[in-house]
Chain A
Amino acid sequence: MASLLGRFCRKLVVPGSAHGSRMVSTTSCDSEAVKSLNLYSAINQALHIALETDPRSYVFGEDVGFGGVFRCTTGLAERFGKNRVFNTPLCEQGIVGFGIGLAAMGNRAVVEIQFADYIYPAFDQIVNEAAKFRYRSGNQFNCGGLTIRAPYGAVGHGGHYHSQSPEAFFCHVPGIKVVIPRSPREAKGLLLSSIRDPNPVVFFEPKWLYRQAVEEVPEHDYMIPLSQAEVIREGSDITLVGWGAQLTVMEQACLDAEKEGISCELIDLKTLLPWDKETVEASVKKTGRLLISHEAPITGGFGAEISATILERCFLKLEAPVSRVCGLDTPFPLVFEPFYMPTKNKILNAIKSTVNY
C-alpha cells in the first residue's frame, strides 16, 4: 500500500545548522488539506487523532501532562482528561510495565520515555515481557497495544545522556518492532501505524528535528505502512541506506556527489525491525554499491545487520565492499560532537572511495 501522498507531494524545509544546510523542496500537493508543521507538532497531531479515534487509548509518561519536555503531548490532557493522559512517577520500568498491563487488557498505551538515553531501566520489561508476551502465552495474551515513544539522536549539545541512538539493542529482539521517522509528515503517518499495529512498537523520534524540520503535513488521519522502505531519491551508482535525522545529512552528500557526476540512490528504511530487505536488495542489485550511515557507534550498529544481509543476497553484484559511515566507538561526547558525528563530508568521502574502489 503506497502512502497516501507520493513523495513529490510535500515540501521539506530544514533551516541551516551546524550539520550543514538542509533545503529540499518539491512541489506541494493540494488535493488534501495540509499544514506546515514541525516534527513535534506532527507527532502531537498523531496523538490527538489516536486518542480521538480510540476511546480505549492512553498517553502517559514523565511530564506529558503539561505538554511534555518537547511539547509532543500539548493539549492532550486538557482535551481527553487526566484519566487518559497523565504524568507518571519517574520510573521507566514502571512506565513500560504499567503500559504492558494496560495493553494486555486490550487498551492502547502510548507511553513516552523522556529521552532514549533513559530507556534502559525498561529494557527488561521490553525484552523479557513485551516482546514475548504473545509468544509465551500461546497467543492467549498479547500487549500489541503498547507503543513506546522516545526522542533519540544528536541535538548539538546533548553529550552522553541526551544524544544516544540505542536502536541496535532493540533490533535484536524478536517480538517488537522498531520504527524511526525522518520528517514531520512521515512521523505522523508512521506513529499512527505504530499505535494501531497489533504488536508492541518502539518509536524513536529524532529530537534534532522536533523544531528544525518543517513540512507540509496532511491534517487528516493517515497511516504510512510499517516494514516498507522508501527510495526517496533515485540513482544508479550507489545505494545509500539510513533512517531518521541522518537522512537529511545523507541527502546533502548525495547532492554534492551529483555535482561530481555520481548518481546516488537514497533509501529511508523507516522500520528497522522487521526491515524491508527486498527494497534494499533490489536497489543494490541495480547500483552494485551500498553505503549505510547512522549516528550510533559503528561496532554492532544496525548497519552491520544490513551489510551482512545484503552481502548474502547481492555478493556477486557488489562492485565494492559495503561502506558504513557511523558514529565512533565512544560514548557520545560533548565538545567533540562535530568530530564524532557521521557528517556530510565523511559520507561524501565514503561515496567517492566506494565508487572508485
Chain B
Amino acid sequence: MAIWFARSRTLVSSLRQNLGLSAIFIKHNYSSRRPVFTNSQLSPRVFLDPFSSYRHESTAVETHPYLVQQSDHEDDAQELDFPGGKVGYTSEMKFIPESSSRRIPCYRVLNEHGKIISDSDFIPVSEKLAVRMYEQMATLQVMDHIFYEAQRQGRISFYLTSVGEEAINIASAAALSPEDVVLPQYREPGVLLWRGFTLEEFANQCFGNKADYGKGRQMPIHYGSNQHNYFTVSSPIATQLPQAAGVGYALKMEKKNACAVTFIGDGGTSEGDFHAGLNFAAVMEAPVVFICRNNGWAISTHISEQFRSDGIVVKGQAYGIRSIRVDGNDALAVYSAVRSAREMAVKEQRPVLIEAMTYRVGHHSTSDDSTKYRAADEIQYWKMSRNPVNRFKKWVEDNGWWSEEDESKLRSSTRKQLLQAIQAAEKWEKQPLTELFNDVYDVKTKNLEEQELGLKELVEKQPQDYPLGFHN
C-alpha cells in the first residue's frame, strides 16, 4: 500500500495524526491521577484510559502499517476473563468522555485554491482520469440544473439535485471498479453517470416513458441499472445498508474481486438500518464500503438535531469498523480514500466506513424551499466559496489539462444534449398498460390477470377518466 502514495513519509506518523479514538485513548497521563472521592461527595473523574486489549481475538489488530499498535500496556498482569476475551481492570472509576477533546480531523489533499497541500498522502491521478473526472462533475452540474428547471416547468413531476456533492459522486465512482456493486441512497446519480448511464437514460426514467428500465413505476431520480451494477433507488432511507452487507457477503462467497459500496446521508445514520447494516457487515466480515455523505442537512433538520456524536466517523469503531473522515468537496481526497477503502474491503474482507464532509447546496428536492429553514447567505457561501467543482477545476487547469475553451465547449454541448434528451424523452411512447401488472411476481398471478382484464374493459368504456397514450 505504501508505494501508492505520492509522498514517501512514515505512514504511521501521518496516520497517527489522522487516526481516531484509539490514538487519543493512548495519550494517557498517569501522573494526573486524583482521588475519586472528594470531601463528602462522590465525584467521578473522567479520564482517558488505555485499553490493554479492548477487542477479542478474532478482531485482533494485526501488524498493519495503518494502525497504531496497542503497545502502551499498563496493568498487564491485572486482567479479567469474560466472554469476549480478556480485559484489563482498574480500581479507578472512570467514564469515557462523551466526546474527544479533539474532533476527528478531516483528510484533504487540495486546498480551497486547488493546490495540493504539501506532504499530502494521495494516490496520483493521471491527466486522462482527472479530465474525465472534471468533465463528469461538470456534466452532473449541468444535468442537475436542467432537470431541476424541467420540473419547475412542469415537464417532470419531481427532481432532486446533488449540487455541492459532485466530488463525492464522481470521485468515489472513479475510485471503484465496474464490478463493485453500488447500493445508492438517492443523491448519487453521478456514480451511475460515471459508469456510463447516458443522459437519455436518465431522462427516460424521469419521464417514465417506454424506454425507462424501471417501466415508469417509480418517481423520477429512482434510477437503477443491473448492467451498471447500480441497484435501483428506493425512497425509504437506509434500507440499502443491511442489503449491502448481504451483497458484500455474496461477493465474498463467490470470491470475486469486488465489494459492495453503499451510500447514506447524515440523516440516514439515525435509522435502525444503519446500525443493522454496519453490525452485520462487521460480524460477517463482508467487503462493504459505507460512504456517508454528511452534508449538514436532512431536509430541514440540521445535524445538530440529528446526533450528538462527532459526526459519523466515530461510530465506525463502535462496530469494529475501520473509518475515515474525508473532505467530501476535495475530489482527490475522496478518490484516494475510496480507492484505499475499496482495496482494504476486498483484500482484507472487511467493511470500511467513510464519512465525506460536504454541504447540500441545493434544496432537499423540488418539493423543498430550504431558504425557509436556513440562511440564504449560508447557501451562497458554500455554493461560491466552497464549490468542489471549481476547486478541482483549478487543479486541473493549473496542470495545463483544461482550458476555458474546453469549459465552454463542454458546458454548451452537454446542455444541448440534455435539452435534446428531454425533448425526446417527453415525446417518447408511454409504457403499455400491461406493465402496471407485470413484475409484481415473476409470473402474473390469477388475481392480477383478472384485474388487468377488468381495467382494460373499463378504460375502453370510459376512456375520458384516464390519461392518453397507455395503449397495449
Within the complex, which residue of B234, B241, B249 is in contact with A136, where a contact is CB–CB below 8 Å?
Answer: B234
A43 contacts partner chain B, Cβ-Cβ < 8 Å: no
Q: Do A277 and B276 have beta carbons less than 8 Å apart?
A: no
Complex Cα gap A107–B242 (Å): 16
Closest CB-CB distance, A148 to chain B, in whole Å?
A: 13
Q: Do B242 and A94 have beta carbons less than 8 Å apart?
A: yes
Q: Do A100 and B246 have beta carbons less than 8 Å apart?
A: yes
Q: Do A97 and B277 have beta carbons less than 8 Å apart?
A: yes
A89 contacts partner chain B, Cβ-Cβ < 8 Å: yes
A104-132, CB < 8 A from B: 104-107, 109, 121, 124-125, 128-129, 132
Known: A91-B280, A141-B226, A174-B440. A124 touches B250 (CB 8 A): no
Q: Do B225 and A140 have beta carbons less than 8 Å apart?
A: yes
Complex Cα gap A175–B247 (Å): 21
Q: Do B280 and A129 have beta carbons less than 8 Å apart?
A: no
A6 contacts partner chain B, Cβ-Cβ < 8 Å: no
Q: Do B247 and A138 have beta carbons less than 8 Å apart?
A: no
Within the complex, which residue of B234, B241, B250 is in contact with A102, where a contact is CB–CB below 8 Å?
Answer: B250
Q: Do B234 and A91 have beta carbons less than 8 Å apart?
A: no
Name A residues whose Cβ lies closer than 8 Å to a Cβ of B.
83, 86, 88-89, 91, 93-94, 96-107, 109, 121, 124-125, 128-129, 132-142, 144, 174-175, 177, 198-199, 227, 274, 277-278
Q: Do A138 and B214 have beta carbons less than 8 Å apart?
A: yes
Q: Do B440 and A89 have beta carbons less than 8 Å apart?
A: no
Contacts of A97 in B (CB 8 A): 239, 241-243, 245-246, 273, 276-277, 280
Contacts of A102 in B (CB 8 A): 246-247, 249-250
Interface centre among B181, B245, B439, B447 (most CB of A within 10 A): B439
Question: A98-B245, A137-B214 given. 4 additional CB < 8 A pairs?
Answer: A97-B276, A135-B439, A140-B224, A177-B441
Q: Do B445 and A227 have beta carbons less than 8 Å apart?
A: yes
Contacts of A199 in B (CB 8 A): 441-442
Complex Cα gap A287–B272 (Å): 51
Q: Which 9 A-B pairs rank lowest in CB-CB distance, beginning with the nearest?
A: A101-B246, A97-B242, A94-B276, A105-B250, A101-B243, A137-B232, A138-B215, A98-B246, A140-B226
Q: Do A134 and B280 have beta carbons less than 8 Å apart?
A: no
Of the A-B pairs whose beta carbons lie under 8 Å apart in the complex, a sample of 28, sorted by A's number, is A83-B253, A86-B284, A89-B283, A91-B275, A93-B276, A94-B273, A97-B239, A97-B242, A97-B243, A97-B273, A98-B242, A98-B245, A101-B248, A104-B231, A105-B250, A107-B250, A107-B253, A125-B273, A129-B239, A136-B232, A137-B214, A138-B213, A140-B214, A199-B441, A199-B442, A227-B446, A274-B441, A278-B446
Please, which residue of chain A has its CB at the minimum distance from the CB of B251? A105
Q: Do B231 and A141 have beta carbons less than 8 Å apart?
A: yes
Contacts of B442 in A (CB 8 A): 134, 142, 144, 198-199
Closest CB-CB distance, A70 to chain B, in whole Å?
A: 23
Within the complex, which residue of A99, A104, A128, A175 is in contact with B441, where a contact is CB–CB below 8 Å?
Answer: A175
Complex Cα gap A26–B277 (Å): 50
Contacts of A140 in B (CB 8 A): 213-214, 224-226, 232
Contacts of B441 in A (CB 8 A): 134, 175, 177, 199, 274
Contact with A along B415-453 (1 / 0, CB 8 A): 000000000000000000000001111100111000000
Q: Do A109 and B232 have beta carbons less than 8 Å apart?
A: no
Contact with A along B446-466 (1 / 0, CB 8 A): 110000000000000000000
Closest CB-CB distance, A147 to chain B, in whole Å?
A: 14
Contacts of B438 in A (CB 8 A): 139
Q: Do B283 and A137 have beta carbons less than 8 Å apart?
A: no
Complex Cα gap A88–B234 (Å): 25
Q: Do A100 and B243 have beta carbons less than 8 Å apart?
A: yes
B18 contacts partner chain A, Cβ-Cβ < 8 Å: no
Interface residues on B, range: 35 or more
Contacts of A107 in B (CB 8 A): 250, 253
Contacts of A91 in B (CB 8 A): 275-276, 279-280
Closest CB-CB distance, B264 to chain A, in whole Å?
A: 13
Known: A128-B236, A138-B214. A93 touches B243 (CB 8 A): no
Complex Cα gap A98–B254 (Å): 16
Within the complex, which residue of A104, A134, A174, A277 is in contact with B243, where a contact is CB–CB below 8 Å?
Answer: A104
Known: A94-B280, A97-B273, A125-B239. A138 touches B217 (CB 8 A): yes
Please, which residue of chain A has its CB at the minimum distance from the CB of B445? A274
Could you tell me the dominant secondary structure of chain B's interface residues?
Answer: mixed
Q: Do A94 and B440 have beta carbons less than 8 Å apart?
A: no
Complex Cα gap A357–B384 (Å): 80
Known: A88-B280, A94-B280. A128 touches B239 (CB 8 A): yes
Known: A89-B283, A139-B439, A199-B442. A101 touches B272 (CB 8 A): no
B222 contacts partner chain A, Cβ-Cβ < 8 Å: yes
Contacts of B280 in A (CB 8 A): 88-89, 91, 94, 97-98
B244 contacts partner chain A, Cβ-Cβ < 8 Å: yes
Please, which residue of chain A has its CB at the minimum distance from the CB of B224? A137
Q: Do A105 and B277 have beta carbons less than 8 Å apart?
A: no
B260 contacts partner chain A, Cβ-Cβ < 8 Å: yes
Please, which residue of chain B has its CB at the minimum distance from the CB of A93? B276
B157-200, CB < 8 A from A: 181, 183
Please, which residue of chain A has its CB at the minimum distance from the CB of B236? A128
Closest CB-CB distance, B227 to chain A, in whole Å?
A: 8
Interface centre among B246, B272, B438, B439 (most CB of A within 10 A): B246
B218 contacts partner chain A, Cβ-Cβ < 8 Å: yes
Complex Cα gap A104–B249 (Å): 12
Contact with A along B275-303 (1 / 0, CB 8 A): 11101100110000000000000000000
Complex Cα gap A125–B241 (Å): 11
Within the complex, which residue of A93, A105, A135, A138 is in contact with B273, where a contact is CB–CB below 8 Å?
Answer: A93
Complex Cα gap A91–B446 (Å): 36
Interface centre among A103, A124, A128, A227 (most CB of B within 10 A): A124
Contacts of A142 in B (CB 8 A): 442
Contacts of B447 in A (CB 8 A): 274, 277
Complex Cα gap A202–B218 (Å): 25
Please, which residue of chain B has its CB at the minimum distance from the CB of A100? B243
B212 contacts partner chain A, Cβ-Cβ < 8 Å: yes
Closest CB-CB distance, B180 to chain A, in whole Å?
A: 13
Contacts of B243 in A (CB 8 A): 97-98, 100-101, 104, 129
Please, which residue of chain B has its CB at the minimum distance from the CB of A275? B447
Q: Do B440 and A175 have beta carbons less than 8 Å apart?
A: yes
Complex Cα gap A329–B376 (Å): 54
Contacts of B212 in A (CB 8 A): 138
Known: A97-B241, A136-B217. A141 touches B246 (CB 8 A): no
Complex Cα gap A141–B226 (Å): 7
Complex Cα gap A291–B411 (Å): 70
Q: Do B242 and A141 have beta carbons less than 8 Å apart?
A: no
Complex Cα gap A99–B215 (Å): 25
Complex Cα gap A96–B243 (Å): 8
Contacts of B183 in A (CB 8 A): 101
Contacts of B217 in A (CB 8 A): 135-136, 138
Closest CB-CB distance, A246 to chain B, in whole Å?
A: 24
Known: A93-B273, A140-B213, A274-B447. A134 touches B242 (CB 8 A): no
